[in-house]
Amino acid sequence: QLQASGGGLVQAGGSLRLSCVASGIIHEINDMGWYRQAPGNERELVASITSGGSTIYGDSVKGRFTISRNNGKNTVHLQMNGLKPEDTAVYYCKAVLRLVGKWVWNDYWGQGTLVTVSS
């Protein structure tokens, strides 16, 4: 249902843009967001955005990362600037959505995309 792309290898100080598209018989999408998980660490929130455009950022990425979405295309993006080695992780997109014909909201996760920042 969710397909993430855009990860890769970048030097410290560089930029990457992650994208995620939700597909399928979707009735409505509520929050969309990005999480990351580094080896040995728990998955943590990077940024999230509501359908109305309100955003939340993790403390470690404030001022460097920007989340955006296109409701018409069911996509969410994460622009990452000023990348640091500690940003190295697998990044997962998540969407809270309701499928056509269903009455409950569920969390859906993308497959993850690896971001590696070299020092």
Confidence of residue 55 (pLDDT cuts 50, 70, 90): very high
- Percent of the chain, pLDDT > 70? 100
* Mean pLDDT computed over every residue of the chain: 96
Q: Give the pLDDT mean for 38-49.
A: 96
Higher pLDDT, 78 or 103: 78
Res 107 pLDDT > 90:
yes
Q: How confident is the model at residue 85 (pLDDT cuts 50, 70, 90)?
A: very high
Q: What is each CA distance from 83 to 28, 36, 55, in whole angstroms?
A: 33, 14, 20
Supply the pLDDT for residue 45: 98
pLDDT higher than threshold 90 for residue 101: no
Q: Which residue has the tokens 């509501």?
A: 50
CA dihedral 81, 70, 22, 10 (to 10 degrees): -10
Which has the closest alpha carbon to 21: 70, 54, 65, 55? Answer: 70
pLDDT of residue 1: 86
The distance in angstroms from the start CA to the end CA of the chain is 34
82, pLDDT greater than 90:
yes
* 117 closest CA partner among 95, 94, 91: 91
Provide mean pLDDT across the span 70-99.
96
Calculate mean pLDDT across residues 79-101. 96
